[in-house]
Structure 1
Amino acid sequence: MGVLDLIKSRRSIGVTAEKDVPDEVIQGLLEAATWAPNHKKTEPWKFRVVKGEGRVKLGEEMARITAGNTEGLSEEEAAKKVEKARKGPLRAPVMIVVAVSPSGKVPEIEETVAAGCAIQNLLLYATEQGLATIVRTGDIAYAPELKDYLSLEAADKIVGLIYVGYPKREMDIKAQRIPAEEKTIWFK
């Protein structure tokens, strides 16, 4: 499959089987991510891979953090939010947390974009490997306590929680994009 066809075939798929994704496959995803372009070769990304029992532990921590941020919600709404946070990491057999670690050598936006490129590389390689992926964030991704739990620095920012697994069923999700011509102005 050519690169453009691979790009066009990539979809966010959040329904995965509980089948284990081998560590060697995950290593391949991370390797692909590290080949993202980045200004001044700062390589500003950090990865945290969560598998197995680690997902349960992360879910408990996410539930604890969420419980501390439910002020103003009814008891029922708070309980739902906490339970959703607890179950989050169990959506797929693997969660890869991607963070950007600003170097100070270039504007932070450039390093955030580089981390986004790393995510795209990872997603494209996952598609080629027959894996289902979906990227999430939500309020929990911005919680300082989650960064602490994941051994990230205070200045690091989580840019994606990537859920990885094998698709539970065959997915043929059609997609359309606005043609580039409608979003482009040429200066010649």
Structure 2
Amino acid sequence: MFSYFTNAARQETVEEGKKWDADELIKHRRSIFPRDYDENRKVPREILEKMLESANWAPNHKHTEPWRFVVFGSPESIQRLAQFEADLYKATTPEHKFMQRKYEKKARSKPGVSYVIAICMKRQASERLPEIEEVCAVACAVQNLHLSAAGHGVGGYWCSGGRISSDEMKGYLGLGEKDMCLGLFYVGYPKPGYVARSHRKPIADKVQWIISYYQK
């Protein structure tokens, strides 16, 4: 079990197998970094498959279902991916900006990580939908994936941007020319006693209500 610290200054103890209210689960979800994963526990494959099944029920326009997932499920495959990222950093970084420490950090093994999931968008050949709609659908799938993980007491972290979205990474994953890699999702059990803290500004600061026809 591990704990969460909510924006209401309340610490919650989370137990695996708990039945969640939907609103409660959404507020409970956190990004948990791989460094905070328990090296002595591996997430069972059947739980990962439930997470992926939840991802598959994301909303999408015209039923294109553009999400694709490449799962790295062994220590060897995860390490090869890490080494590829490190080598890609070295190959694409000017010599005066290259940092050996950063290279070694990227190549370092991540023993607490049970799985790494490459989050991909499959572009439809017809391209009848704007690309942004397909990207948004994949993001919804990732939210489902992450919520399912949280519901099972599993930690998740979506790492995106930079070289992860590069053509080299697309080639490594076997993606098509117009497909996209939108990030890597790390999966693992949090360390015993782990506390995740987060907060949100009030929703009232982010919502404008239009009640009257004449209101602007």
Q: Same fold (TM over 0.5)?
A: yes
**Which residue pairs with 2:84 in the alignment?**
61
When Rg is computed on C-alpha atoms for both structures, the one with the higher figure is: 2
Listed one character per residue, the Cα deviations across residues 126-156 of structure 1 (whole Å, up to 9, x for unaligned) are: 0000101111124121221111111111211
SS in 1 for 2:92: coil
Q: Whole-Å Cα distance in 1 between the matches of residues 197 and 45 of structure 2? A: 30
Asked if structure 2 preserves the Cα contact closer than 8 Å seen for 1:59 and 1:90, the reply is no
Unaligned runs of at least 5 residues, structure 1: none
TM-superposed deviation, 1:29 = 1.0
User: Cα distance 1:95–1:89, how it changes in 2: closer, same or farther (>3 A)?
Assistant: farther
* Count of aligned residue pairs for this structure pair: 186
User: Cα distance 1:92–1:171, how it changes in 2: closer, same or farther (>3 A)?
Assistant: same
Listed one character per residue, the Cα deviations across residues 57-106 of structure 1 (whole Å, up to 9, x for unaligned) are: 112211221111121435xx432232222237656221111111222121
SS in 2 for 1:119: helix
**Which residue pairs with 2:73 in the alignment?**
51
Asked if structure 2 preserves the Cα contact closer than 8 Å seen for 1:58 and 1:89, the reply is no
Counterpart mapping for 1:37-186 below 5 A: 37-52=59-74, 53-73=76-96, 77-87=98-108, 92-103=113-124, 104-186=127-209
Unaligned runs of at least 5 residues, structure 2: 1-19, 212-216
User: Cα distance 1:30–1:125, how it changes in 2: closer, same or farther (>3 A)?
Assistant: same
Match status 1:22 vs 2:70? no
Dislocated runs of 4+, deviation >3 Å: 88-91
**Which residue pairs with 2:21 in the alignment?**
2
Q: Whole-Å Cα distance in 2 between the matches of residues 29 and 57 of structure 1? A: 24
TM-superposed deviation, 1:115 = 0.5
Percent of aligned pairs with the same amino acid: 36
TM-superposed deviation, 1:120 = 0.3
**What one-letter code is carried by the residue in structure 1 that aligns with 2:102?**
K
Match status 1:34 vs 2:56? yes
Asked if structure 2 preserves the Cα contact closer than 8 Å seen for 1:70 and 1:78, the reply is no
Question: Given the two structures, how large is their TM-score scaled by the length of structure 2?
Answer: 0.80
SS in 2 for 1:68: helix
Q: Whole-Å Cα distance in 2 between the matches of residues 158 and 46 of structure 1? A: 9
Q: Whole-Å Cα distance in 2 between the matches of residues 92 and 186 of structure 1? A: 43
User: Cα distance 1:150–1:89, how it changes in 2: closer, same or farther (>3 A)?
Assistant: farther
Asked if structure 2 preserves the Cα contact closer than 8 Å seen for 1:49 and 1:95, the reply is yes
